[in-house]
Structure 1
Amino acid sequence: MVGTVGPGTWSTTMSTRLEGRCVLVVDDDPDVLDSFDLALRAEGATTLRAEDGNQAVSCWRSRNPEAVVLDMMLPKRSGFIVLEELLAAEHPPVVVMVTANEGRRHEEYARGLGVHAYLTKPVPLDTLIETVAGLLEEHAPGGTG
């Protein structure tokens, strides 16, 4: 079985690269949410899901995941507002922002806020996994981040 969101392929063969890691996936598109969730779980992650900005903040506060995959355009609270709140925390998560918007202005704004990575949809699932795993390794205690 192969899962994709856009170009590129990704195998669902189980791996443990994200074993023991908790990742919150936030997207209002159920297909994207399901694909990202499946890919992260197949790599060993425990996943949490949110479909809007308010759910994202509530879930993050109650569960404190190590990483957040965050859509930019969300109902109820924009991804930028969620990003600001997450990164203002005493122990902020690693945040990967994903968007279908290809404008440089939004990417520059997100980077100015301190987002760890910015990916443009469609995001190949192998790219998502590599990005999340790499950032978690980099920002782990004793890492280089």
Structure 2
Amino acid sequence: MPIKKAKKASRAVVGESSASPATEAGVVPAKAGGKRILLVDDDHEIVESMRTVLESRGYQILVARDGNQGLVLAEGEEPDLVVLDMMMPKRSGFLVLEKLRRSRPHPMRVIMITANEGSRHKAYAEMLGVDDYIRKPFAMDRLLESVDRLLS
């Protein structure tokens, strides 16, 4: 889904329809030190919105369109951060997160994003060790704050 300008010029919302392109999000580029972020989501519009804003901040972006592809890229490329959708084809975000937590000696930073409103899902994600949990639709500033905090 395309991003939508929120009330403040510096805020963009992911997960709501609008004609505003990602480049109008009002995000100021910052040095990211070439940190690599893996985006794992089957929604092309959400991925492209996040990619545009994160690349404008200097992050290198990898993209997976389903859970299996995400797991392969996470294990093979070892990104600095994974932004992981909860509900995807082939393998859910929960299963990807479980596998990453079991198979790695050093935990990979993970932000889970979801349109699901249930508190049980959030509690389960936290039990698995997710670093942040963001509900869709979300302001792009919310994602950027989490990314910057986890990668600084």
TM-score (norm 2): 0.82
CA shift at 1:21, angstroms? 0.6
Alignment match of 1:50 (pick from 64, 75, 84):
64
C-alpha distance in 1 between matches for 2:67 and 2:15: 24
Residue in 1 that maps onto 2:29: 14
C-alpha distance in 2 between matches for 1:78 and 1:113: 13
Higher relative contact order (CA 8 A, sep 6+): 1
Q: What is the count of residue pairs matched by the alignment? A: 134
Q: Is the 8 A contact 1:19 1:44 kept in 2?
A: yes
CA shift at 1:132, angstroms? 1.0
Residue in 2 that maps onto 1:77: 91
CA shift at 1:92, angstroms? 2.4
TM-score (norm 1): 0.86
Instruction: Look up the SS of the partner of 1:54 in the other structure.
Output: helix
**1:124 corresponds to 2:139:** yes
Q: Which amino acid aligns with 1:5?
A: V
Structure 2 gaps, min length 5: 6-11, 17-23
C-alpha distance in 1 between matches for 2:84 and 2:122: 13
Instruction: Look up the SS of the partner of 2:120 in the other structure.
Output: helix
What RMSD over aligned residues (CA atoms) do the two structures have, in Å?
Answer: 1.6
Using the aligned pairs only, state the percent identity. Answer: 44
**1:30 corresponds to 2:30:** no
